[in-house]
């Protein structure tokens, strides 16, 4: 029990929990950005819904839609829904591009600005070297 309590009290666990919660919240923001802004703009150019595309490789593949859930099944054949996979890949790439260009790049710019501000002040080693040089010049 002692080891478990030490594990719980570690800062890493709390930081991990906070990072997870922030990641979930941030995912909602990114999904909203992609679904509300980026996807409709791309829809202006394409206008095709790939999610319904696929190939029947066996049987007649007559679609049956469940009225309660809206799920489409193919009970009398094997239907490869390559369109939904392709849609998921495109959505992933769009989401990755949005995160990269709207989060990562601006953060890198801010981080480099902060690094320049921090490097403007002399470091402890540089100050000690100046003091040493001044003492050597006096003697």
Share of the chain above pLDDT 90, in %: 4
My answer on whether 7 and 53 are in the same domain is no
Q: Which domain holds residue 4?
A: 1-46
Predicted TM-score (pTM) of the model is 0.54
Whole-Å CA distances, 40 to 36, 44, 92: 7, 7, 15
Q: Which of 79, 80, 85 is nearest to 51 (CA)?
A: 85
What is the per-residue pLDDT for 117? 66
Q: Which of 86, 84, 76 is nearest to 56 (CA)?
A: 76
My answer on whether 77 and 127 are in the same domain is yes
My answer on whether 129 and 61 are in the same domain is yes
Confidence of residue 11 (pLDDT cuts 50, 70, 90): low
> What is the total count of domains within the chain?
2
Share of the chain above pLDDT 70, in %: 89
């Amino acid at each position: 029990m002692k080891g478990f309590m030490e594990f719980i009290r570690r800062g890493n666990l709390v930081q991990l929990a906070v990072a997870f919660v922030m990641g979930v919240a941030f995912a909602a923001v990114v999904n909203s950005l992609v679904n509300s802004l980026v996807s409709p703009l791309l829809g202006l150019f394409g206008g095709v819904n790939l999610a319904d595309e696929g190939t029947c490789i066996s049987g007649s593949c007559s679609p049956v839609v469940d009225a309660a859930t809206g799920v489409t099944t193919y009970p009398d054949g094997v239907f490869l829904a390559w369109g939904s996979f392709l849609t998921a890949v495109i959505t992933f790439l769009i989401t990755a591009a949005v995160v990269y260009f709207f989060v990562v790049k601006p953060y890198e710019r801010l981080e480099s600005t902060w690094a320049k501000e921090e490097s403007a002040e002399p470091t402890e080693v540089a100050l000690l070297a100046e003091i040493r040089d001044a003492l050597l010049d006096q003697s």
